[in-house]
Amino acid sequence: MGFEFYEERDFKDTELGPLPVDWKVVRLGEVCKEVIGGDWGEDVYKDSLIEVYVLRGTDFDNLRLGLINKIPRRFLSGKSLERRKLKNSDLLVEISGGGPKQPTGRILYITEGLLNKFDTYVSFSNFVKKIEVDCNMVNPEYFYRYWQLLYSMWRTLLYEKRTTGIRNFKLNDFLKNEFIPLPPLEEQKAIAEVLRSVQLAIEKTEEVIRATKELKKSMMKHLFTYGYVPVDEIDKVRLKETEIGLIPEHWNVVRLGDVVEIFDKKRVPLNEQQRKHRRGAYPYCGANGIIDYIDAYIFDGEYVLLAEDGGFYKRFESSAYIMRGRFWANNHVHILQAKQNSNNYFLLYYLIYEDISRYVAGTTRQKLTQENMKKIPIPLPPLEEQKAIAEVLRAIDEKLQKEEEYKKALQNLFKSLLHHLMSGKIRVRKTQNGQNLQSED
Contacts of residue 325, Cβ cutoff 8 Å, sequence gap at least 6: 300, 301
Query: For residue 367, what is the DSSP state?
Result: B
Question: What pLDDT, in 10s, does the model give residues 122-175?
Answer: 778 778 899 999 999 999 999 999 999 999 999 999 998 876 667 889 999 999
CB 130 within 8 A of CB 35: yes
User: What Rg value do the Cα atoms of the chain yield, rounded?
Assistant: 28
Is residue 234 classed as helix, strand or coil in its secondary structure? helix
Helix (H) or strand (E) holding 241: strand 239-242
pLDDT of residue 282: 97
* Distance, CA of 392 to CA of 220 (rounded, Å): 9
Is the pLDDT reported for residue 274 higher than 70?
Answer: yes
Task: Specify the pairing of strand 333-338 against strand 19-20.
Answer: unpaired
pTM of the entire predicted model = 0.83
Is residue 255 classed as helix, strand or coil in its secondary structure? strand
Question: What pLDDT, in 10s, does the model give residues 121-133?
Answer: 777 877 889 999 9
More confident residue, 82 or 169: 169
